[in-house]
Each structure stands twice: as structure tokens, then as C-alpha cells.
Amino acid sequence: MRPLPEELGPRFSVQQAKAAGVSEGRLRRKDVDKPFHGVRVVSDAGFPAALATDRCGRALGPAEQAHLARALAYAPRMSEGEFFSHVTAAVILGIPLPHAVVARSLLHVSVLRPRRLPRSAGVRGHEAKPSLVTARRDDRTGLMVASPASVWASIGRQLSDPYDLVAAGDAVVRTWRVDSPLATLAELESAVVAGRRVGVVAARLALPRVRTDSASRPETWLRLTLVDHGLPEPDRNHEVCENGVYLGCVDLAYPALKIAIEYEGEHHLLDPEQWSRDIARYEALRAGGWIVVQITKSELFGTPALAVQRVREAIRRRG
């Protein structure tokens, strides 16, 4: 079998292939997939290892990888002026969304008026106003995407729980342990007030709850759960030092009461070394007089009232 020209790469348009001298018959061979009309993907290309984690080092879930792989496959057929938006742009930018939302979503592709809407199986086209959306090339994937602030202002319709929209906003403006935020709080505000768009009402309600120092979607959910059950808003990612000794960083904290609240996610099951470090950190905190309340995934998302009660009891003990 005649090899494909290396310059085509793993994903290419039929037009590019023909320009490189590839015959139509070669493009019909079994080692070439046809994910979209006019696009071919080398069957054993696999998912790019460099994109398996987001900019914060968070591993992409199966739904996110599959969605991003479809976006990469669709890109060769995109015309000038087309760009990814909504859920697809959020996945590309590493904005955390519920796995179920990503798994059931079509690819979202937008154009600025008055260009024609993109039409393809598995794709949802959007017509955007130039006054509401700008596009840029993502430096990690090379894909054209809507600006992060406009992405956040437009995904309210796809998210059924307002906590998830706040968590997405937290990720967009995050300054904690990143080189720079995807957008600033001021840019989110500008996107919300720029004009009418689907989902903007939800964004307007979520904006006052967005914080720049939250590290993950579960942390946002835990913070909002505590506050909405009547507890004070805790500090986020609080660095603890006792007598000049650094004891560690805790997810949420009431420093004046020396109460640390830790979310225990599934990563502990997959990373024994991290779990060992966490155990040592919790022992050091407790030895320093801190109460450490550990909240599990099933507790936070299944029985949140019990999680709140455990934090409330810790506060009472300090009363």
C-alpha cells in the first residue's frame, strides 16, 4: 500500500490530499477513516498525548478526549471565518463541564454574520454577532475558538445546574497556580453586558459568585454548597503555616477557627503517592491544632446536607 505523504499529517481534507497527489482510490483504503464529509483521518493516528491534560495539568476524561478528537478531525474542513464555540470551545480551552454534557453534545461551530452557517452531520452551527464574539487561535491545539469570556457567557443554556456555570467561570478567571487566566473578571462582566444572547441571564446571575482562586469544579461545588446552606464563605486554597512551618495548602478553610475542608476525589484511587502525601499533610495539620473535614465525591454530589452538617459540627466544636 502506497504511504500517504507525511506533509498531510494525521488529519487532512480531501482537497489537501488531492493537491498532494493522492488518488481517490487511496483515500478509500481501510487505513483512512472518514469522520466528516471531505475529511480523512489516519486510522491509527490516536489521540495526541500532549493534549491529554489541560493547561492546569488536569487529565481529560473519556468524553472530553472524544469530543476534542472530533474537533481536531473536523478542523481541516473549516472555512475561513469559522470557529469552535459553546461546549466545544469550553473543551478545547479546558473549561470543566459535566461529563454528561460533553458526551451528548454535538460539535459547536460558529460564524460571524453574515457568513453562511456551517452544515455537517454531528455539527451544530451558530450565527454570532461581531459585537458579542471574537475568535482566536488556541495555542495548545491550533484550533480557532471563541474568546474564553464569550464562551462562558454563552454556555448557560447547556448547563442545567447554576453551580456548574459558576465552576466554569472560576476556571476561566483562575489566577491560582497558572501562568495567566484565560480571561479576567472584567472581561466576563463585559461579555455579560455586551448584549442579548442565549444563556446570558444565567451568566448574569452566576457572575457575582465567580472567584479567581478556585482550583476545580468540585471545590466550587463544595464552596457554594456550604454558603447556600447558611455557612460563611470559606477561604479557597489557603496556605497554612504554624510557628513558621509550612503545613500545606487546603482546599477550603476557616483560618480563624483552624478548620480545613478537603475534597477527596477519585484521583486518590489512581495516585497512591498523592494519597500518601495527603495523609501526611492531614496529620501535620491535626498536630498543628487544625480540624480537617474530608468530603467525598458521593457525599458532595449525593448527600450534600450531610457534608454541610459535618462542617457545621466542626464549627460548633470551635464555638
Closest CA to 174 of 146, 144, 152, 199: 152
Listed residue (243, 242, 225, 241) closest to 233, CA to CA = 225
pLDDT of 272 > 70? The answer is: yes
- Average pLDDT taken over every residue of the chain: 95
Task: Using DSSP, state whether 228 is helix, strand or coil.
Answer: helix
- 197-223, pLDDT tens digit by residue? 888 999 999 999 999 999 999 999 999
CB atoms within 10 A of CB 193: 11
CB 39 within 8 A of CB 70: no
- Which pLDDT tens digit goes with each residue over 11-31? 999 999 999 999 999 999 999
pLDDT digits (tens, 9 = 90+) for 74-128: 999 999 999 999 999 999 999 999 999 999 999 999 999 888 899 899 999 999 9
Q: For 32-94, where are the alpha helices, taking DSSP H only?
A: 62-74, 86-93
Is pLDDT at 266 greater than 80 in this prediction? no
Whether the per-residue pLDDT at 187 is higher than 80: the answer is: yes
- Residue pLDDT, tens place only, 129-166: 999 999 999 999 999 999 999 999 999 999 999 999 99
Spatial separation of the C-alpha atoms in residues 289 and 309, rounded to whole Å: 21
Q: What is the pTM of this model?
A: 0.94
User: Which residue type occupies 83?
Assistant: F
pLDDT of residue 267: 67
pLDDT at position 1 over 80: no
Distances (CA, A) of 282 to 149, 236, 250, 260, 262: 37, 17, 9, 9, 9
Per-residue confidence (pLDDT) for residue 275, from 0 to 100: 85
Give mean pLDDT, residues 272-281: 88
Q: Please tell me the predicted confidence (pLDDT) of residue 273.
A: 85
Query: Greater confidence, 46 or 266?
Result: 46
Report the distance separating Cα 162 and Cα 172, nearest Å. 16
Q: Enumerate domains of the chain plus CATH numbers.
A: 6-42 (no CATH), 52-209 (no CATH), 217-317 (3.40.960.10)
